[in-house]
Amino acid sequence: MSTNIGIKLKLIRESMGFSQAKFAEMLDIGLSGYKRYELGNEPSGNTIKKIANHPKTKMYFMWLFTDETNPELGQIAPGDFISEQGLLNEEEFEKQFIDTSIKSLLMFFHLDWFKVNPDKKIDINDCGKLLLKDLKPIIDARASKPTNSQKTA
């Protein structure tokens, strides 16, 4: 690693609108240590891990160490943006979720993991909708609050 890492860290920090102090605090890195990184000192393995795993900086990790980006995988450089072209709108998400749920449920029936009760009428489409209704709050909560345990590709 070289001074180039320090310049890149500064670009990332500035693109996010943070002071050195706020950026270091966000990453849980000592301020004096962070200032040394911007001046060219090599970050420790622990610091690299913090940058790679932090939800606000992990999108820059590939660029930081390889000078390459891969927007399809969410790996960008400061100033780039992630295209929302690949993202599903709410209606598309619900349709895809329901369709996938139906396919999974049908496979469970086929594998005899579930048995149809002949006394009750079942609408497999309604089952997919019910799964969406029950699981959507959990999915939304996870999507709105990325954690350090989420990994990038």
What are the structural domains of the chain? 3-82 (1.10.260.40), 88-144 (no CATH)
The pLDDT score that the predictor gives to residue 146 is 46
Report the distance separating Cα 69 and Cα 75, nearest Å. Answer: 5
Asked whether residue 37 carries a pLDDT value surpassing 60, the answer given is yes
Residue 70 forms beta bridges with which residues?
75
Mean pLDDT of the chain: 82
Tens of pLDDT along 100-153?
A: 888 888 888 888 888 878 888 888 888 888 888 888 888 777 766 544 444 443
Q: For 6, left (φ over 0), alpha (ψ -120 to 50), or beta?
A: alpha
What mean pLDDT is predicted for residues 42-67?
Answer: 90
What mean pLDDT is predicted for residues 82-90?
Answer: 61
Asked whether residue 5 carries a pLDDT value surpassing 80, the answer given is yes
